[in-house]
Amino acid sequence: MTNTSFDQPFSAITVEELAKRLKNHEGTLQLIDVREPQEIAIARLDGFVNLPLSEYEQWNQQVPVRFDAHAETLVLCHHGIRSAQMCQWLVSQGFTNVKNITGGISAYSIVVDPSVPQY
């Protein structure tokens, strides 16, 4: 995945809003975590599909088949940088409702749920 400038629009969602959405959604959200497997082993949130950025070549062809380009798609990483890259890529693939989770799982642990380990 190339490190392109963020010239196509995607929005952001706070970890507080994420917590509300996770509690209340009826399976309509698509949740993607782009962290590495060793990071997932330390701290994870239920419901997220793991697509590590380092394994882009293994999963990039599956994304249009596995995910609905028009469904709301929330993307998570450690602090919000890699997830922003993924959001940019998803938009370039025709996804229309992509949101980066600001602050990533680190902010989620600090602000929402301290039982999620920090690393």
CA distance 22 to 117: 18
Query: Could you tell me the two tokens for 32?
Result: 């993607």
Q: In what order do the strands lie in the sheet with 11-13?
A: 11-13, 98-101, 73-76, 30-33, 49-50
Look up tokens 């690393």; give the residue. 119
The single residue of 29, 74, 76, 77 carrying the catalytic annotation is 77
Q: Which strand (E) or helix (H) includes residue 31?
A: strand 30-33
Closest CA relative to residue 35, chosen from 82, 71, 97: 82
Cβ atoms within 10 A of the Cβ of 1, count? 14
Active site residue 77: yes
Supply the residues annotated as catalytic.
77
